[in-house]
Amino acid sequence: MSIYKTNLASDSLFCVTIEARLLNYLVFRESREQWYVEGFDSIFYYEVGRHKLYMLPIPNILTKKMLIEKISRKLARAVPLKSLKMSNDQPLVSFTFDDFPKTARTNGSAILQDQGYVGTFYGCAGLLGKIHDGTRIAETKDIKILSENGHEIGCHSYAHLNCQKASKEHLQQDLSRNASTLSNIAEQSITSFAYPFGKMSIRTRRIVAGHYTSARTTVPGINHDRVCLHSLKSHQVYGSMFNSVFFEKVIAQAISTNGWLIFHTHDVSTSPSAFGCTIDQFTQLVQLVRNAGINEVHTMKSAVEFIT
């Protein structure tokens, strides 16, 4: 086993590729004590020059900074900004798309419209027409088409920002810029937000709440009884993990709890990214909702009105 690439910068984390195994490890200098490890079952020790390094499999490592960010996210999820008692008389479903890729517009919206449904498309104006995470993002004309067909355009930050790390000023500028750009294109007010990367904290949630009526997270679950409109739960619809039995179960839970079930995905295509799903899968999911007898399918904006 030999190390052929190291980055011994001042940061506490170093990425090293172990040639023999072709695996990536995060490496810590021995003198650094401010790191935390959870649940590891193996540890590798190695020496590079005068540096003593510990190498641990990536999924098992948390630095102190990462740990604080994780706790901050968990706190934000657990502590409601403002608790709201839902007053809907029927269960409801929302279909949402993050980023949003071109195929979310071409295929995703068409599948919804075939059933008479509309969805929420969270856009980043700074990504329009570009390739993001290997996927072609929608263009200005896609936003116009969606809007003309009754879909909602939501905000996902201008630059697909990690809201948890951004300064207050930066975040506020970014949110305002995105809302004004998207609102001019879509000719609709932008009132719904989805946290990029699902990253949020109590601080960022307060800032976002100053701009938007609702904010959706990537925390799985059904929103029911009392909810925080700025920490809304949603189930991911990713092709590699698509499980129709699981979706049938959560739809049934939404019905039994009289809840609000939100789905989120990205691209919808024959060869989707890791964050999207196939046309067949999305069609199947929409059909499951239809077959379950849920009559209320809303955009996020409309859903907030329905539950309040």
Residues of this chain that bind Zn ion (CB under 5 A):
98-99, 196
Is the four-CA dihedral 265, 156, 109, 153 of positive or negative sign? positive
Question: Is there a contact between 192 and 122 (Cβ–Cβ < 8 Å)?
Answer: yes
Question: Is there a contact between 74 and 114 (Cβ–Cβ < 8 Å)?
Answer: no
Q: Which is nearer to Zn ion, 99 or 142 (CB)?
A: 99
* Residue 78 beta carbon to Zn ion: minimum distance, rounded to whole angstroms: 23
* Residue 194 beta carbon to Zn ion: minimum distance, rounded to whole angstroms: 7
Q: Which is nearer to Zn ion, 51 or 211 (CB)?
A: 211
* Residue 19 beta carbon to Zn ion: minimum distance, rounded to whole angstroms: 34
Q: Which is nearer to Zn ion, 14 or 195 (CB)?
A: 195
Q: Which is nearer to Zn ion, 191 or 273 (CB)?
A: 273
Q: How far apart are CA 125 and CA 176, in angstroms?
A: 11
Q: Which is nearer to Zn ion, 55 or 104 (CB)?
A: 104
Q: Which is nearer to Zn ion, 91 or 196 (CB)?
A: 196
Question: Is there a contact between 251 and 236 (Cβ–Cβ < 8 Å)?
Answer: no
Q: Which is nearer to Zn ion, 104 or 304 (CB)?
A: 104
* Residue 201 beta carbon to Zn ion: minimum distance, rounded to whole angstroms: 17
| DSSP line for 115-127 | TT---EEEE-GGG
* Residue 254 beta carbon to Zn ion: minimum distance, rounded to whole angstroms: 24
Q: How far apart are CA 255 and CA 162, in angstroms?
A: 34
Report DSSP state, residue 138.
P
Q: How far apart are CA 40 and CA 54, in angstroms?
A: 13
* Residue 270 beta carbon to Zn ion: minimum distance, rounded to whole angstroms: 21
Q: How far apart are CA 8 and CA 45, in angstroms?
A: 16
Q: First CA to last CA across the chain, in angstroms?
A: 61
* Residue 49 beta carbon to Zn ion: minimum distance, rounded to whole angstroms: 40
Indicate the residue whose CB is closest to Zn ion: 98
Max distance between CA atoms of the chain, in angstroms, equals 68
Pairing of strands 226-228, 83-85: antiparallel
Question: Is there a contact between 164 and 136 (Cβ–Cβ < 8 Å)?
Answer: no
